[in-house]
Amino acid sequence: MPSPPLATRLAIAEAVAREAGALALRRFRKLETLTVERKGLQDVVSAADREVEGLIRARLAALLPEDAVLGEEQGLTEGSSDAVWVVDPIDGTWCFLNGIGTWCVAVACVIGGRTAVGVVFDPCSGEMFAAARGLGARLDGQRVRVAEARSLRDGTLGVGFSHRSRPEEVGPLITEVLAAGGMYHRHGSGALGLAWTACGRLIGYLEPHMNSWDCLAGLLLVEEAGGFANDFLAGEGLTEGNAVIAGPPEMRPLLEDLAGRHFHRVRQ
């Protein structure tokens, strides 16, 4: 079967993320009924994460059966096309399970080794962030652009951290941001932090290590909104993860310098 046009893949990603988000939101409203398992320090998985990934996989398998799917909870299902869907059913699970509404569904499609489609759906606000390579980035259908920021004083920097990284990678970095007259923000959902960077609410996003399902959609959103992103997929980025550095083009030297000095593993 010939590969569908990008606009079709984008429409599929949006529809699937919206349906998945609606299911996750129903579970969020009845948190007390969910069973939860611990994966690591401040790292948990609930029945909702598994159920929502199952829904995304079922929809993609029905619509595009030749494509591969890599999901946080069930790993890789091989395909026969050059497309891999990379999905995080609930990004921000820790917030989700603690009743905090900053979580989202993240769906990306990598074609021939490059991210081609990226969608971040925030069910609590109803906001849909969507991008396709060369077609721009949109928030609820309206084109968005990264912030016009040149220094840390021009806005708020998104900084992510998980216990896969070392505290020393972000503690001194945040100190430096504050000392320079800046401010930092952490959603507890890296995908949302990147989506907010794409639409100019944040003046960049830094995290020492993310997995591909956390960030590929958001990185494409930032690039398609006129920003820059590090070459996350370099090396084994798809399966092993990488550092994340993204933001407005004028912030690039500053953000690369911060990440280069503080993060243990940086590929740009």
Task: Return residues touching ligand IPD (CB under 6 A).
Answer: 72, 88, 91-94, 160-162, 188-190, 207, 210-211, 214
Distance CA 182, CA 166 (A): 22
Q: Which does 162 bind (CB under 5 to 8 A by kind): ligand IPD, Ca ion, none?
A: ligand IPD
Choices 57-65, 87-95, 116-124, 173-181; region in contact with Ca ion by CB under 5 A: 87-95
- Written as one letter, the residue type at 245 is I
Structure tokens at 162: 């998980």
Interface residue with Ca ion, options 91, 122, 169, 207 (CB under 5 A): 91
Binding mask 38-77 for Ca ion (x = CB under 5 A): ----------------------------------x-----
Structure tokens at 206: 């830094």
The residue (of 105 and 139) whose beta carbon lies closer to ligand IPD is: 105
Q: Is 122 one of the binding residues for Ca ion (CB under 5 A)?
A: no
Least gap, CB of 4 to ligand IPD (angstroms): 28
The residue (of 214 and 223) whose beta carbon lies closer to ligand IPD is: 214
Q: Please name which of 117, 109, 60, 108 lies closest in space to residue 83, comparing C-alpha atoms.
A: 109
Least gap, CB of 45 to ligand IPD (angstroms): 8
Strands 183-185 and 156-159: parallel
Secondary structure of 112-174 in HEC code, one letter for each residue? CCEEEEEEEEECCCCEEEEEECCCEEEECCEECCCCCCCCHHHCEEEECCCCCCCHHHHHHHH
Structure tokens at 226: 């006129």
Least gap, CB of 179 to ligand IPD (angstroms): 23
The residue (of 132 and 170) whose beta carbon lies closer to ligand IPD is: 170
CA 238 remoteness from chain centre:
13
Bridge partners, 83 (sequence order): 111
